[in-house]
Structures are given as C-alpha cells and as structure tokens.
Amino acid sequence: MPAKRKNSVKKKSASRKKASSRKNSAKKSISGYIGRFIKKIILVSLVFGTLMLSVYTLYLNSVIKDKFEGRRWSIPAKVYARALEVYPGLKITVRQFEKELQLAGYRKDKQYSTEGSFSRNGQRIELVTRQFDFPDGEEPSHKLRIQFNQTGISSIYDRQKRKKISLMRLDPAHIGSIHPKLHEDRLLLSQDDIPKKLKNTLMAVEDRNFYQHYGVDPKGIARAMWTNIKAGSAVQGGSTLTQQLVKNYFLTRERTLARKLNEAIMSLLLEYHYSKDEIITAYINEVYLGQDGRRAVHGFALASEFYFKRPVSQLSQPQMALLVGLVKGPSYYNPRNHKDRALKRRNTVLKIMLEQGLLKQTHYQKGTKSSLGISGRWSLSNSPFTAFLDSVKSQLKENYDQDDLTDKGLRIFTTLNPQVQWAAENALSSQIKSVNKKLAKQLQGAVVVSHRDSAEILAIVGGKNSQEGDFNRAINARRPIGSLIKPAIYLTAFEQGYTLSSLLNDTSFSAKSVKGKLWSPKNFDKKEHGLVPLHVALAKSYNLSTARLGMDIGVDKVLNTVRSLGVDTDALPYPAVLLGSLTLSPIQVSQMYQTLADQGFYSPLHTILSVQDENNETMQQYPVRVQRRIDESLVYLINANLQEAVSMGTGKGLSQYVPIHYNIAGKTGTTNELRDSWFAGFGDNLIGVVWLGRDDNKPAGLTGSSGALKVWGKMMKQLDVGILEQNQPENIKWFWIDSMNQLKLTGRCQYAEFLPFVQGTEPESTQACSDSQFSEKYKTKWLKRLFQ
C-alpha cells in the first residue's frame, strides 16, 4: 500500500478514536451526573421520608397521649331501682322476694357461699348479699337466713353474727343504662382488682412474651407463621396484647398495610410511655367479649357478670378459661348460641394453662369435664322498664347534658318499686286479655302509680308489652280526660261558697261554644235528675248539673284550679272543658290527683332520689318539695266526696277488688263514644291512674267503670294501697243535713245526710226530729258508717 494512503488511513483511524473517546467521555459525564442526581433524590427522599415519618410519629404520639391520658372510656350512667329494705313484718311473699333477687342479678346456688348467691327451701331463703355503696353510706355484705310466713317476712337471722336482726338493705337492682352512641358498656377494674390468674392465663394464651417485648414481638410473629404453615391455615396470630389494644382502642379493624404500620408504630409508642401493668389493665378493660342486644360487652369485669352473674374475683378456673377463650372470637364462640364451640375453646385454654403450669393435672381433668355454667340470659340492652326510664331521662335532662349521662359513669338511684311495677303490668295485661279478642288487639293502656306522701313515682307502664323505642302512652299520650276534671270544678265551687249540700240543677241546656256553635251536654244515662245535692252530682258523675255549675263559676277559674293542682295547661276556657275535652297525659293526671291526695300540697312527681359520680360521691339529691296550693279544708271536702263516688257512685265496682272499709277515694272518667276509659284513685299509701283506649282514637267500647277501674282494682289488690284516713282540719264540722230543704237537723231524720262542712257554711235553719224517723235507705249511709 502506498505511503500516502497508509498515512490517510492512520489519520482517519486516529480521528475516529478521538471522536469515540469524546463520546465515551460525554457518556461518562452524563452517567455520572445522573448517578449523582439520583443519589441526591434518594438522599432527599430519605431525609424527607424520615422527616415525614418523624412528623407522623409525633402525630401518632399525640393521639396516644391525648386519648390514653384523659378519660379512657365512656362509661354509661347506670340506673338503679329502689333498694329493698328487709325487716320482719314486711308484706312480701317468698316468691316475690325471690323475683326481686333475680332482678338484682342474684344467682341460685345451693351452697350460697359467695356474694350475690341464694338458695330457697320452701318458705326460707338463704343468701349472701353484696356489699354496696349507697348515697348515705356503705351496706356491707350479709349472710342471712330469711323466714317467711303467709303474710310476709317473719324473721331475719344473720349467720355471721349469729343473731336475729331487725333491718337490712339489699343492693338495688340495676334496671338500665344510658349508653353513648356506640352502645359500649363495661365495668372498670383497677390493677389491684385483676386476679393474678386471669392476667397469667391471658398472657399464656395471647402473648407469652408480654413482659419481654417492646410492643411488637418478632419471635411471636415468626412462631405464629411457622404454626400456621404447619397447620395449613391461620390458627395463631402474631399480634401482641399491646398491638391488640392499639387496634381495638385507637384504630379500625380494616386489614391494610397502612393500618398494620400504624399499629406497629403506636404499639412501640404506647410501650415507651406506659408501664406493662397499665397496658394489660387497659386491655382487660377494653377487650370486646360479647353482645347483649344493642349493648356491646367490653372488659372481663362486665363479661363475668354477663355470662356468670358474679364478679371476676369469684370466677372458677374453667369460667376464667372460657372468658379468655372468647377473646379469639366472641361471636363465633358465644356460649349461649354455640355451646359445643365454646366448650372446645374453653378446654383448649385449660390445656394451655396446664402446659404453662397454671393448672394442676387434677384440676385440668375436672375442669374439662365440667359444664360451661352459663347463667340464664341477663340483659340490660332492652330494659323491662323502658317507660319508667323515659321519665328518668326526662328529669335528668333538667340538670345534666348528654355527655354527662353517657360518658362519666354516673349512678342514678330511682324510685322504681319492682313489686308495684309488676302488679301494674300484670293488671293491665290481664284486663286487656279479658275483653273480646278483636278489641284486645287494638286496645292499649297506661298506668302511673305514685306514693301519696313522697310524690315518688313507683311504677310507669307505657303500653301493653312495651319495648324500648315504643310510644310511651303514660307520658306522651294526651287524651281527653272526661269526668276526671270534675273534682277541679267542685273545688272551684267550694272556693266560691258552694257546699256538699248545695242544690244543683240537673236539667238540659245549651250554650254557645267554639265559633258560635251550640253546646248541648247530656248525662251518660240520657236522663235528667232535677235538683240534686252537690255531693250526689259528683258521686254519680252527672254531666248536666256539673256543666251548669261550671258555667256559673267560670270555666277560666276551673282551669286555674287545674293549674293549681299541678297541671301546666294552655287550654282555652271553652264550655266543653267542663266535661273533659281537656287533653292530658296519664302522668299529668297523676300530678293532679297527687295534690288532691296530699291534702292540697303540691309536690312535683319525681323518679330520681339521688345521683352519684363514678367515685360514689353524691352530686345531687332530690328531696321532696312541698307547696300549699289548695286550702286543706276544701280538699278534705272533695276527698270525702270522692270516697262517696267509690262507695255508692260510679266507682262502686271497686269493692270487688279492694274491701270497702279501705275508704278509697277515686273518680271514673269516660269520653264521647267510649273512646277513653279512665280511673284515678288513692288510698292511704298509693295513688294510681289508669287509662285504656285505642291509638287510632276509635271507640274502645269501655267506660271508666268497665275498663280502667278494673285494672286499678286488680293492681291494688296485689299491693298495700292503705286504708284512707284523712286528717280532719279543725274548722271542719259534721252535721246531719236535709239537703233538699237546706236544713240542719238535730237528729237522724228520714233522708238525713251526715256531711262535713267548713265551719260557718252549714245551713242556718235547724229542725228537730226523732230517731224513729231515721231511714236506713238513705243513699249516703256510707258516710254515717265512716264518721259516726
């Protein structure tokens, strides 16, 4: 090859090498730049990620501290019935007493060896009462033998003190709770309250390395993975107790990587801030262990009561094993619905206890052969006393906001008397069943019973078979009250100078009413009775004479009397008010008759005695408030007349249920077309108001006498209504009277009436007559019998 050509090739080759070198150099430069850029991005990302993780960790840390250091749980307010005071002479049968014990959560136990247990043998009950902190002090536990006879309790023997005692007080029945929106409920245990065996069993089953790890246990996770691989399915979890607490208390149950990451971080933080004992105590109080209707059962303390009717400190080893076993799946292993599953799970836990040295072989063998021992269903999710609780909540709202009632663990002591409540429910149910089947399906009712002296509401029935959420007719149903308004009319008349012997005109008339329409009242019997003494007009519930009287004294004044009796009404003074067009609820009628029964003293009806906070400190008491509203002398007259109404008037059918010598005062009420049946009455102890009718306001086909009165009678037949004895004011004097001639008599003449008067209002003219003229046929002979 020529030299020139060779030189040319060499030059071209060198040139290509230089170009290639420049390209490689450029590539290296670009590659290096990109590498450095990526490193910077990674570094920045790491720094930013670390910063964000730190910020997020700080956020989670604040969440933990804010929630865990404050009020950890919303504790619902607990509502209690009245405490039963037990003493020799108490009128209660052994069966009724046993029912009270069952309502209070006592369990039958032949050994009756622990608190809250009892045994019955014929007319004798042996029991161990529970210690209880009452608003006025602590009542310790007692070991008692109570003997009954035909009339009630005959003796009480304290087996510890070995002597008879005269009085003791049972812990009250827990009749309901006021739950937060989540409907969670729990009883809290302190660290000292938790049985050591419960804690050890829980750790043996759920987290054996609890006191060694820092919230997350890698060994536990690895062990669980290996166990699951060998089993071919997920049979064991790797979460620590701390992680479970975080998941239940702070997080949701969703299965995502983000939630697991949160769980791990928060578990580490929780362990950093709080001791192991605090964490396991919180877990034992938080864990979900069952469902009671809408109420979620949380924590071992409440679960122990829910499943076994005993405190956690009294659990046997098999019972404790079952509760620990429920942690894995409270619904799946529900011992009431899935007995075989629960039994198998319980025995699995017992085996773990044996393997971990928590149980001896003999105890293990005995435990696996034992039954589950679940008590009868004990539910407070749907209280049997919903109508009464409505009244309790209404009274509480006057002083407490909703958060106080659902979060702060208040204890509310009420006036509910279970014996009275059951009697009212049974009487209403019995009477409704006694009518024809077609009517019974449509018929509804309501009952309110209160104590005469204290104005305490003892029982409320809001309808037949009332459930939570049902319409409460006792409080919310406003119905025309019919003749129940008549005592207010006659009281108003007494204030204007009328007396029991005043003559009234019981004849037809018409008056202008609403929008100029004519109002023409009629008597129930469609008859006119001419001139009648005032006391006869009320006792017989004559409409014509009552309406004329009301028009004469003024409807507006009658309504003022109704208000004085305790009813807040804005009714307009139309004539129809005089015959009961005024609409009131049964509890409003009860307030009205409460004032009459208490001799004109107004005391607001109430259902609460006192409220305690979660530390058993009294926050508020509800003493009886008394205000004189009606002159006692005038109330004495009206009540004597209401006794006559029961003895020989529209309420005389009551004698089938309550002996006539009880001198019950009462009034029937019936509205147009027999739509409403009412009876209101009282003895020396109790006041009762009953309403029967239909929710669609169609005729019920019942008068006050044929419907409500029978419910009242059946109810009071079971209770101590008391023989009514009015305190006679000094200015009340009794005279023999001839009302038709307005004469005061010196002896017992024919047609003589023995009537009470405010001194100075009796007839001025006097006539003498001999005893031989006296006739036993006189209509008001009941008065002669009562007051001679």
Burial 740-755 (b: 16+ CB within 10 A, else e): eebbbbeebbebbbbb
Q: Give residue 293's pLDDT.
A: 79
pLDDT at 357 over 50: yes
Closest alpha carbon to 743 in 732, 755, 731: 755
What angle separates helix 339-355 from helix 196-206, to the nearest 10 degrees?
A: 100
Which DSSP state fits 587?
H
pLDDT of residue 683: 97
pLDDT of 7 > 70? The answer is no
Query: Is residue 63 predicted with pLDDT exceeding 80?
Result: no
Residue 188: pLDDT over 80 = yes
| 139 given a catalytic annotation | no
Give me the helix-helix angle, 555-564 and 543-553, nearest 10°. Answer: 90
Question: How does strand 411-414 pair with strand 77-80?
Answer: parallel
N-terminal to C-terminal alpha carbon distance within the chain: 165
The pLDDT, as a whole number, for residue 219 is 74
Mean pLDDT of the chain: 87
As beta bridge partners, residue 512 has 518
Residue 308 pLDDT more than 60?
Answer: yes
Radius of gyration of the chain (CA): 39
Strand, coil or helix: 163:
strand
Which alpha helices (H) appear in 274-299, and where do they start and end? Answer: 276-286
Q: Which residues contact 651 (CB under 8 A, 6 or more apart)?
A: 645, 664, 666, 667, 668, 679, 681, 705, 709
Kindly state the average pLDDT of the residues 71-94: 89
Rounded alpha-carbon distances, angstroms, from residue 310 to 8, 43, 301, 617, 657: 109, 61, 9, 25, 41
Average of per-residue pLDDT across 239-261: 79
CB of 423 closer than 8 Å to CB of 712: no
* DSSP code at position 290: E
Is 141:211 a contact under the CB 8 Å cutoff? no
Euclidean distance between CA atoms 566 and 563, whole angstroms: 5
Predicted local distance difference test score (pLDDT) of residue 762: 94
The predicted model scores a pTM of: 0.84
CA angle 71, 77, 83 (to 5 degrees): 135
Q: Which of 450, 483, 647, 705 is catalytic?
A: 483
> Phi/psi at 54 (nearest 5 deg)?
-65, -45
Is 782 a residue whose pLDDT tops 70?
no
Catalytic residue among 100, 126, 184, 206: 206
Contact 458, 686 (CB under 8 A): yes
| Contact criterion met (CB below 8 Å) for 612 and 618 | yes
> What tens digit of pLDDT does each residue of 93-112 get?
999 999 999 999 899 888 88
* Residue 486: CA count within 13 A, CB half-sphere: 34
- Dihedral of CA atoms 397, 403, 404, 405 in degrees, nearest 10, equals 60
Q: Which amino acid is at 332?
A: Y
In this predicted structure, what is the pLDDT of residue 666? Answer: 97
More confident residue, 377 or 756: 756
The mean pLDDT value for 203-227 works out to 80
Burial of 212 (0-12, 13-18, 19+ CB in 10 A): exposed
* pLDDT for the residue 776: 40
Residues pairing with 693 in the sheet: 444, 676
Judge whether residue 87 has pLDDT over 50.
Answer: yes
CA atoms within 13 A on the CB side of 646: 29
- Is 689 exposed, middle or buried, given 0-12, 13-18 or 19+ CB atoms closer than 10 A? buried
Question: Tell me: the pLDDT tens digits for 638-648?
Answer: 999 999 999 99
Does 45 score more than 80 pLDDT? no
Tokens linked to 147: 């003997």
User: For 396-446, what is each residue's pLDDT tens digit?
Assistant: 888 887 777 777 888 999 999 999 999 999 999 999 999 877 788 899 999
How many CB atoms sit inside 10 A of residue 245's CB? 25
In this predicted structure, what is the pLDDT of residue 788?
A: 38
**DSSP 8-state code for residue 606:** B
Nearest to 391, CA basis, from 425, 424, 415, 427? 415
Neighbours of 220 (CB within 10 A): 22
pLDDT, position 746: 84
pLDDT beyond 80 at 550:
yes
Looking at the DSSP bridge assignments, the partners of residue 533 are 503
Q: Is the pLDDT score of 9 beyond 60?
A: no
The question of whether 206 is a catalytic residue gets the answer yes
Indicate the residue type of 526. K
Mean pLDDT of 495-506: 96
CA count, 13 A, side-chain hemisphere, 657: 22
Instruction: List the strands of the sheet with 618-621, edge to edge.
Output: 174-178, 77-80, 411-414, 608-612, 618-621
Residue 665 structure tokens: 């005062």
For residues 713-726, give the mean pLDDT: 95
Amino acid at the residue 719: L
Question: If phi over 0 gives left and psi between -120 and 50 gives alpha, with beta otherwise, what is residue 482?
Answer: left
For residue 644, CA distances in Å to 534, 558, 671, 783 come to 12, 22, 22, 8
